[in-house]
Amino acid sequence: MRLLIIGLLGGEVGTASKIARDRGAQVACADDIATGLAHVRAGKGTDVILADVALDIAALITGLRSERISVPVVACGIGNDARKAVAAIKAGAKDYIPLPPHAELIGAVLTAVAHDERALLYADPRMAAVLALADRVAASDASVLILGASGTGKEVMARYLHGRSKRAAESFVAINCAAIPDALLESELFGHEKGAFTGAVARRTGRFEEAHGGTLLLDEVSEMDPRLQAKLLRAVQEREITRVGGSQTIRINVRLLATSNRNLEACVRDGTFREDLYFRLNVVSLRLPPLAERRGDIPLLASHFIAKYAELNGADARRLSPQAERLLIDYAWPGNVRELENAIHRAVLLANGEAIGPEAIILGPPESGTVRATGSRTEGTASAEPVTVGTTLADMERSLIIDTLQHCFGNRTHAATVLGISIRTLRNKLRQYASEGIPVPPAGQLVGLQE
């Protein structure tokens, strides 16, 4: 994980830098905002910025946004200056860390932004076959196309390949082609020169240059505009790029990995993806089976997520009961590993006793209530009102909130966590329902956890 600290390194900020290094982060330092922005523009790689609140945090975030640089900023400052902390958050900082720094707090921030810790776990024979092929091609420089439905772990596989390649000591750079507007994606990939477009106040290095010597992952490459595909093809063929607004060609040395959740052969046939680019990227292809086709992985992944979220939430690491494990194995998992992770996170929060039982497992869309799996089809038992034509959004929201609160045994804090809203928002909603004469589940507590 790459951390940029902006601020004078004397005293507490220097201590934070040492803690981060001890936690395994690659730390770069800049004394002021201008130097920090220059570091980011140069493509040296930054996953998060820790900035001294004594500096102009608003100017830093405005500078990043104006140059279309997406890097999370965490503010830090001496003591508990609420005014500066609030100003930093309002300016766009993701969090605020009081100094002197606490080692565990610094570690939590790093964990929240680190992506390299995602492990590739498997036990099912189908996944073992995919890994065997991955191991055979990992050490080469061949382009690899990783295919699979959303949530199957395509980026995790890409990092696995990079970690076992001869480029493992160099940068792994990933860019989500589906998440960036077409007008910005070209600049993200190839960089730009000063004045190339409105907001290009300085030269910026793109992801190709940032990944020089290492690996570049084009995530969901099938979503790329055909015009940009032509420029990408030239970069792949000629091993050189030209920045937006520039004329100088720049030699690059990267290994390309690409992912897609679509049938690229069908995309080639319907003209939305270039055939020549497809063949350049598809030297080797790895197809990740959906979770429903590798059910042998489910108990192992569930145990991993239980340990992860128990530690994250300060809860006891419970085992799965046989009934809960059977429930997970029989479910269809349309959302694949990502859906399993979310289900286990909820179960860790809701479980009572020494084991996680089926009563703590909530599967399917939130409005469907608790789901029991039978083969590939599911049957739900929801206490929420059925959604029919004429049902208002307010009625749907109320049903979902009350149903979730019942699942959480009346515990407001954990219901808010499951719903993804603040505890204040939840309490305001409940007060509104009570004033309207709607029965609200009484407040309760999960064993060992306080409201």
Tell me the per-residue pLDDT of 9-30, one tens digit each, with 9 for 90 and over: 566 667 777 777 776 677 888 8
> Residue range 312-331: average pLDDT?
89
At residue 364, the pLDDT reads 72
50-64, 69-83, 325-339: range with lowest mean pLDDT:
69-83
89-103, 179-193, 216-230, 279-293: range with lowest mean pLDDT:
89-103
* Share above pLDDT 70 across residues of the chain, in percent, rounded to a whole number: 83
State the Cα–Cα distance between residues 391 and 398, nearest whole angstrom.
11
Q: Indicate the average pLDDT of the chain.
A: 82
The pLDDT confidence band at residue 93, using thresholds 50, 70 and 90, is: confident
State the Cα–Cα distance between residues 354 and 402, nearest whole angstrom.
27
Crossing angle between the packed helical segments 336-350 and 298-313, to the nearest 10 degrees: 50
At residue 449, the pLDDT reads 36
166 vs 389 pLDDT, higher one: 166
The pLDDT confidence band at residue 369, using thresholds 50, 70 and 90, is: very low
CATH fold of 125-289: Rossmann fold (3.40.50)
230-241 pLDDT tens trace? 999 999 999 999
CATH fold of 292-381: Helicase, Ruva Protein; domain 3 (1.10.8)
- In the chain, where the domains are located: 2-113, 125-289, 292-381
State the Cα–Cα distance between residues 331 and 338, nearest whole angstrom.
14
> If we measure between CA atoms, which residue out of 299, 371, 363, 372 comes closest to residue 335?
363
47-61, 83-97, 225-239, 257-271: range with lowest mean pLDDT:
83-97
Q: How many Å separate Cα 205 from the centre of its chain?
A: 23
Is 245 within 8 Å of 192 (Cβ atoms)? yes
At residue 391, the pLDDT reads 57
Q: Do the domains spanning 2-113 and 125-289 agree at the CATH topology level? A: yes
DSSP string for residues in 251-316: E---EEEEEESS-HHHHHHTTSS-HHHHHHH-SEEEEPPPGGG-GGGHHHHHHHHHHHHHHHHT--
Q: Which of 157-171, 367-381, 422-436 has the highest mean pLDDT?
A: 157-171
At residue 273, the pLDDT reads 96
Indicate the Cα dihedral angle 111, 115, 118, 120, nearest 10°.
-170
| CATH number given to 2-113 | 3.40.50.2300
